Structures are given as C-alpha cells and as structure tokens.
Amino acid sequence: MTIFGLPVAALLSQLVLGVVNGSFYAMMSLGVAVIFGMLRIANFVQGAQYMLGAFCGWFLLNLNEMVPDYGLPRIGYWWALLIVPAVMFLVGVVTERFFIRRIYDLDHAYGLLLTIGLSMIIEGALHLRFGSFGQPYGMPESLRGVQDLGFIVLPNYRVWLIVSSTVVCFGTWYLIERTRLGAYLRAATENPVLVRAFGVNVPRLLMMTYGFGVGLAGLAGVMAAPIYQVSPLMGQQILIVVFAVVVIGGMGSILGAIVSGFALGLIEGMTKVFWPAASSTVIFIIMAAVLLLKPAGLFGKSPT
C-alpha cells in the first residue's frame, strides 16, 4: 500500500533512518549544550572529538595490528563502548585544563576560535595519517540481522542505536536536572564565585563537565563506527548540523538539545522523502526562523 505515492515500507524505513540520525544529533547536541550551558564555550571541536571517538574504537578493534609484537587482542564494540568514552573524558579533562581554562574571561568569540583551531589540528593530524578514506568497522555480531515486523524491516543495529541513545540522553538529563551534582552545575553556571565561596571546587567541576561533554562525543563516535564511515571528515559533516540543533533547542538547554536532536533528525528524514533537494537546508532554515522568532531557542531561557 502507498501513502502519498510512496510505499509504506519505504516511508517508514526512511523515518527510522531519520530517527537514527536524530539519535546522533541528540547525543552530540547534548555534549555541546552541556558544555555551552555550564562553561559558556561554543565547543566547535566536538565534531573532531566525535571523530576521535570513532577512531579510538577502530584502533581498539585493530589493536593487534596497530601495536604488534605484544600479542594484544582485538577489542570489540562492547568493550569500546566503555573504554572510548572514558579515554575521551580524559582527553576532555586535559583539553580543559590546558586550553579551555585560559579563555573563560575573554569574549565568547575566542572560545569559538580556540575550538576551531583545536579541531583543525586534530582533523589535520588524522587526515595526515589516514587521508580522506573511510576505515571499515564491522557490525558487531550480536547486533546484526533484522526484525521483520511485516510492514517494515528494522535492522537490529538501528533499534539498538535509538534505544541506547535515548537512555544516554535521558540519563544525562536526569543527572543534571534531578541530582545534587547537577544542582552544583546549575548553580555554578549562574554564580560560580558564590558556589566556590561555599567550598565547592568549581574549577575542578568545570573540568569534569567538559570532560563529560567530550566523553559523550566519543561515545557517539563509537556508536557511529559500524554504520557510518570512520573517516577524518566525519566530524565536519555532523558538526554544523549539531550546532544548528543546539541553537534550535536553546543554547544551554539540555532538554532542548535532546528533543530538537531527535525531532530534527525526523524532519530531515521526512524532507528527504518528499522534497529531497531541501533536505540538507531544512535544518538551517528552521534554525534561522527560530533565531528570529525565539532566539533563546525552543526550550531556552532568555539570552543574557
């Protein structure tokens, strides 16, 4: 049967693809939103950190070849899901300590500029080693295959992606909005001097927060590895869209990033079905519209 002249199965599978993309947008936007919300830094290097996460996963998978002579095993997807975010967390902590921290007192522009510079270094370095080519990262055994539901065939990996990213996103939201630690973060965003005067080590808190945001990017990268190309350019492609999503959601709003991420993935998917030529621009058009009508974003508070 058809809807609007398209077979239902095709339509639905495109929608699912949209939500899958949306999962990545949501996870990445979450990282950017957390970092912007708490540190007031536009973390333009998030794309490169996502890409690094994917490469870390690839590296672990090929560990026996990358570091020969030690009899190291291939570290597969499931271990990578734990190791890579932890590694990227540390990368984030170091980055904050040595780079990001130095520019807090400066104009916002410098945050953007610094992170652009960092992303160029990282992407350039990986491009040097790997060129523009994608490295293969096989689908993990347990997630291969499909669910045949009759009207649609759902690849298992996509289901896994949607479910796990929802869990990660919701978990992060809960952490920030409903826990004591989150309260510290929210308070430190409003008045870091006072929170420090209460005895909280605010600089360390900010460092951990940045690390967390980077860890999220790394996690997204690993999860992307089996279905997208692990290439040095993968960060650039997703980054601009992610910034648009964050702006639409509200530039410090956690919930805004999550909802907008999923929603815009879906909208992008729908647009691809009905008006393919506009599918790459629809997100930017929405972003421009939101910035004009409600500049704080759909879920944001008024810009200060």
* Among 275, 209, 235, 171, CA closest to 24: 235
Q: Of the listed pieces 137-145, 167-175, 199-207, 258-266, which binds another protein according to CB under 8 A?
A: 199-207
Cβ of residue 218: shortest distance to another protein, in angstroms? 20
Smaller CB separation from another protein, 162 or 242: 242
Cβ burial, residue 195 (10 Å; 0-12/13-18/19+): buried
Smaller CB separation from another protein, 10 or 240: 240
Judged by DSSP in three states, 142 sits in helix
Cβ burial, residue 12 (10 Å; 0-12/13-18/19+): middle
How many residues in the shown chain lie near another protein by CB under 8 A?
57
Q: Are 31 and 216 in contact (CB under 8 A)?
A: yes
Cβ of residue 278: shortest distance to another protein, in angstroms? 9
Smaller CB separation from another protein, 24 or 243: 243
* Among 29, 46, 44, CA closest to 109: 44
Determine which residue in the list 121, 146, 149, 167 makes contact with another protein, applying CB under 8 A: 121
Q: What is the spatial distance between Cα 283 and Cα 260, in angstroms, rounded to a whole number? A: 10
Determine which residue in the list 66, 109, 149, 167 makes contact with another protein, applying CB under 8 A: 109
Chain residues that interact with another protein, rule: CB under 8 A: 42, 99, 102-103, 106, 108-110, 112-114, 116-125, 127-128, 180, 183-184, 186-187, 189-191, 193-202, 240, 243-244, 247, 251, 277, 280-281, 284-285, 287-288, 291-292, 295, 303
